[in-house]
Structure 1
Amino acid sequence: MRYSVSHITTLNYPRPVSMAQFNVRLRPAAWPGQTVTDYRLVLDPAPAQVVTREGGYHVNEARFALREPTAQLQIESRFTVEVEPLPFFVEDGAGPGLADLRERAMRRPDLSDLAPASYIFASPVARPEPAIAEWAGAFLDEAMPVMEAGRALMSAIHAEFAYDADATETDTPPIEAFNRRHGVCQDFSHIMIVAARAHGIPAAYVSGYLRTLPPPGKPRLVGADAMHAWVNLWCGEELGWVGFDPTNDKLADTDHIFLGMGRDYADVAPLDGTFRGSGSQGMVFSVDVAPVD
């Protein structure tokens, strides 16, 4: 499946701010089965320099500073991407049992940004939560194949939690969303990550997009009008990293476009930074993911 992706973010300030510095993470990182072409990042006003680099985890980052006073900044990210269907062995694969998986992850001599050991421990946002671990324990056991475990957690979150865009904020802790049983894709992904790690499954937070319009006769996916988040679980050497979307109760497939992955949202936030000035920052954005014939 081939898509044209457009993401426009506009920041507004009540009074001009000075010495603003930003990190933008909107260029897709390399990912199996996904080919990106024609990437463009347009900034208005244009900074003197944009420095691009790999982030701390599997994410691309662009850094820039605005040294002249400005009351508005527009960030436009565009690219074309082709996404291949999941290999049959991922769709059907069971993977190792959870006890075996945990040992494999810890034995691997790998410290890269995709090393499973980097995603098995707590992170700043996805901290250990006994209540989430106990809840997840009802669906998992040590002998269960990891694909079965991932599907069980994903389906349980989809069944028990309601999508509610007004229930949480970007900085709402996972335990609060868990207790409310309401939230958005970011909350559901963090809850699944905390649950998976509590039972020894390496779990990562994925930032990306969903196709905006469904194929004829198919329901529209929840979260398609904005950036989307889902969970990657490391399913052993045979299967590698597999995406699970608890918001829509489905594996990440040709409807999903991968941007980057980290331990939690903070590692792959699409935009962050600082500015010198008074007043609050307003933000509006538009996302469009259009299939290309």
Structure 2
Amino acid sequence: MIYEVRHNNTIRYSGFVHLAQFNVRLRPAPWPSQTVTNYRRFVDPLPWTVQEEEGAYVVNEARLTLRDPITQLTIESSFTVDVAPPPADYASANSPTITELRALALARPDLTRSAPASYLFASPIAGPLPEIAGWARGLLEEDMPVIEAGKTMMATIHEEFAYDSGATRADTPVLDAFRARHGVCQDFAHVMIVAARAYGIPAAYVSGYLRTRPPPGMQRLVGADAMHAWAALWCGDDLGWVGFDPTNNVFATTDHIFVAMGRDYSDVAPLDGVFRGGGQQTMFFSVDVAPIE
């Protein structure tokens, strides 16, 4: 499936911002199932310097430095992407059991950006939480194939948790969203990651986009989409990383567009930074994911 993606962020400040440095993570990192072309980034006002680099995880970062005072910043990212179907039918694929997978991940001598070892342990947001581990204990068994474990956690989160865009913010602790059983895709992905790691399953946070389908008879609204998040579990050498979308209870396949993968949201946040001044800030965004027929 081929898509045109356009993402616009505009930040307005109540006062002048001085000596600002922003980290932008909107350019898709290389991923086996997709090919990105025609990537463009527009920034207004023009930054003093732009430094492009690979992040510590599967993420591309652009560091923008703005030397002159500003009260508004606009960043627009656009690209074309061809998303291929996965090489296996995940719903019926064979995978190691949880016990077998844990041993495989711990014994694998690989410390590259996508190696399972980097996603086995606690991270800044997705730390060890006994309450979520206890919840997972009621769902999983050691001899369960890891694909089945992922499907079980994904389906249970989808059933037990209500999507509510006003219930949480980007900095809401995972445990708060878990206890409230309300949240957004970011919260659901973090709950699944914490639960999986409690069982020794390598689990990662994926930032990207989702093809949205309008109701029958309705036109797709340009700019009405948003960034999306889901969890990825390492399912052994044969399957590798498999995306599980608990918000929609589906595997991440051709409707999901990969941008970045990290231990949690803090590794792949689309935009963050530091600056002097600014006062109150307001962010406006629009996202358009358009399939090319």
Give the alignment's TM-score, normalised by structure 2.
0.96
Residue equivalent to 2:230: 230
Q: Return 5+ residue gaps in structure 2 as ranges.
A: none
Structure 2 counterparts to residues 58-207 of structure 1, below 5 A: 58-207=58-207
**Partner Cα distance (2:81, 2:4) in 1:** 7
How big is the shift at 1:275? 1.2
**Which letter does structure 2 place at the counterpart of 1:112?**
T
CA contact (8 A) 1:93 1:147 kept: yes
Partner of 1:271: 271
The CA RMSD over aligned residues, in Å, is: 1.6
Aligned to 1:57: 57
Rounded to whole Å, the distance in 2 between the matches of 1:190 and 1:23 is: 22
Q: What's 1:7 paired with? A: 7
Distance in structure 2 (CA, Å) of the matches to 1:126 and 1:269: 14
Kindly state the Cα deviation for residue 91 of structure 1 after the two structures are TM-superposed: 4.0
Q: Which residue of the partner structure matches residue 260 of structure 1?
A: 260
Of stretches 154-163 and 91-100 in structure 1, the one that deviates more from structure 2 is: 91-100
Distance in 2, matches of 1:181 and 1:273, equals 30
1:43 aligns with 2:56: no
Letter in 1 for 2:98: L
Deviations 1:90-117 (A, max 9, x none): 3421300001100100100100011101
Deviations 1:220-279 (A, max 9, x none): 9xxx82110000000000100000000000000111000000000000000000111141
Aligned partners of 1:278 and 1:79: how far apart in 2? 31
* Aligned position for 1:208: 208
Deviation at 1:76, TM superposition (A): 0.3
CA distance in 1, matches of 2:237, 2:114: 12
Tell me the number of residue pairs that the alignment of Structure 1 and Structure 2 aligns: 289
Q: Which residue does 1:27 correspond to in 2?
A: 27
Does the 8 Å CA contact 1:212/1:288 hold for their aligned counterparts? no
Task: Confirm or deny: 8 A CA contact 1:89 1:239 kept in the other structure.
Answer: no
Q: What does residue 290 of structure 2 align with?
A: 290
* Cα deviation 1:34-83 (Å, max 9, x = unaligned): 00000001100011321110011110000011101111110000000010
2: CA distance between counterparts of 1:143 and 1:15?
A: 58
Output the CA distance in 2 between the equivalents of 1:8 and 1:196.
33
Distance 2:168 2:35 in 1: 34
Deviations 1:180-206 (A, max 9, x none): 000000000000000000011100000
CA-CA distance at 1:216 after TM superposition: 6.5
Q: Does the residue aligned with 1:102 lie in a helix, a strand or coil?
A: helix
Q: Distance in 2 between matches of 1:125 and 1:87?
A: 32
Task: Judge conservation of contact 2:207–2:258 (CA < 8 Å) in 1.
Answer: yes
| Cα distance between partner residues in 2 of 1:40 and 1:171 | 29
Distance 1:278 1:244 in 2: 38
SS of 2:31's partner is: coil
Aligned residue identity for 2:53: R
Letter in structure 1 aligned against 2:113: D
How far apart are residue 212 of structure 1 and its match? 3.1
Q: Is the contact between residue 101 and residue 235 of structure 2 (CA under 8 Å) also seen in structure 1?
A: yes
Paired residue secondary structure (1:27): coil
Deviations 1:1-58 (A, max 9, x none): 0000000000101122110110000000011110000000110001132111001111
- Tell me whether 86-95 or 201-210 shows the greater mean CA deviation: 86-95
| Percent of aligned positions that are identical | 64
| 1:68 alignment partner AA | D
Q: TM-score of the superposition, structure 1-length normalised?
A: 0.96
SS of corresponding position for 1:236: coil
Structure 1 unaligned segments of length 5 or more: list them.
none
SS of residue paired to 1:239: coil
